[in-house]
């Protein structure tokens, strides 16, 4: 029995997130069906995290166990033959026996894209958050840096999946503008439910002076979700990079 890891990417616009649900179409369900049709049997695929409805992944890792006889360099082509055009397997490798896509993950980087213009771009409708009011990127960046470090991030999470702890380490967080597109990058050892989008919403609040960047450490200490910024829409969020050790780490870095 092989433990197979996949690197994939997907446009999450028409999916109700990653995790299989009874009545909604999801990425996990679609991928498992494609794997079965490719002749690898009925499998359970473990993903590196639960992306929400409408959220995208530029790099995503999933693993499953199978008596796979297809050469691993041919496996992406075999699975892609049965996947819709908005999901693609980009690489495959044999992982260590105890590898788990979520449990073995060292850190993740999300990016959030804001189309900051008073004119809509139809091609960005489902791939960036349209925000017509002018945003101050310098203030957003100052707020972003205030999130860096090890903190209790309960103040920027939505009620959802229960976790043992709400303490996380943010390795870096920053915002930059290129024309009308603002990109926020945040890397952490793990993310709480809606944490990345709430962090961006808090940065937007800082842009308008609804809070100051230097207020953020105290807001995190208080742990009150009502005091921080809104949860931004999902279409601007992308899982961008994931780090692992061993052969899966090499595959994800390619």
Task: Please work out, in degrees rounded to the nearest 5, the angle formed at the alpha carbon of residue 229 by the alpha carbons of 208 and 133.
Answer: 40
**Cβ atoms 20, 26 nearer than 8 A:** yes
| Fold match between domain 2-104 and domain 107-240 | yes
Give the catalytic positions in this structure. Answer: 52
DSSP secondary structure letter of residue 226: G
C-alpha dihedral sign at 161, 162, 163, 168: positive
Q: What does the pLDDT read at residue 161? A: 65
- From first to last of the 254 residues of the chain, give the pLDDT tens digit: 899 999 999 999 999 999 988 889 999 999 999 999 999 999 999 999 988 899 999 999 999 999 888 999 999 999 999 999 999 999 999 999 999 999 999 999 999 999 999 999 999 999 999 999 999 999 999 999 999 999 999 999 987 667 789 999 999 999 999 999 999 999 999 999 999 999 999 999 999 999 999 999 999 999 999 999 999 999 999 999 999 999 999 999 97
| DSSP H helices in 10-112 | 27-35, 75-80
Q: What does the pLDDT read at residue 68? A: 85
β-pairing verdict for 237-243 and 107-115: antiparallel
**Sequence-ordered list of residues with C-beta below 8 angstroms from that of 34, at least 6 positions apart, any chain:** 79, 80, 81, 82, 83, 87
| DSSP H helices in the chain | 27-35, 75-80, 137-146, 195-207, 216-222, 246-253
Domain ranges in the chain are: 2-104, 107-240
Q: What does the pLDDT read at residue 60? A: 97
Tokens of 160: 């959802």
CATH for 107-240?
3.30.70.660
Q: How far apart are the two ends of the chain, measured CA to CA in Å?
A: 26
Q: What does the pLDDT read at residue 158? A: 85
Architecture of domain 2-104: 2-Layer Sandwich (3.30)
Q: For 98-118, b where at least 16 C-beta lie within 10 A, e where not — what string?
A: ebebeebbeebbbbbbbbbbe
């Amino acid at each position: 029995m092989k433990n197979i890891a996949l690197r994939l990417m997907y446009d999450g616009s028409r999916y109700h997130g990653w995790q299989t649900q009874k009545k909604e179409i999801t990425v996990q369900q679609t991928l498992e069906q494609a794997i079965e049709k490719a002749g690898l049997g009925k499998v359970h695929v473990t993903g590196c995290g639960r992306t929400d409805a409408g959220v995208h992944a530029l790099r995503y890792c999933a693993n499953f166990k199978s008596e796979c006889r297809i050469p691993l360099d041919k496996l992406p082509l075999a699975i892609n033959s049965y996947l819709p055009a908005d999901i693609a397997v980009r690489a495959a490798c044999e992982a260590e026996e105890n590898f788990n896509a979520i449990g073995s993950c060292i850190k993740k980087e999300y990016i959030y894209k804001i189309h900051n213009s008073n004119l809509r771009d139809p091609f960005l409708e489902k791939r960036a958050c349209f925000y017509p009011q002018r945003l101050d990127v310098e203030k957003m960046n100052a707020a972003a840096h205030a999130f860096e470090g090890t903190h209790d991030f309960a103040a920027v999470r939505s009620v959802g999946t229960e976790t043992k702890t709400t303490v996380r380490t943010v390795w870096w967080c920053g915002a930059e503008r290129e024309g009308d597109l603002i990109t926020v990058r945040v890397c952490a050892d793990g993310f709480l439910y809606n944490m990345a989008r709430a962090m961006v919403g808090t940065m937007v609040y800082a842009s308008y002076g609804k809070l100051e960047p230097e207020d953020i450490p105290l807001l995190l200490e208080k742990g009150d979700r009502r005091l921080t910024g809104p949860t931004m829409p999902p279409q601007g969020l992308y899982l961008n990079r994931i780090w692992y050790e061993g052969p899966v780490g090499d595959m994800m870095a390619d």
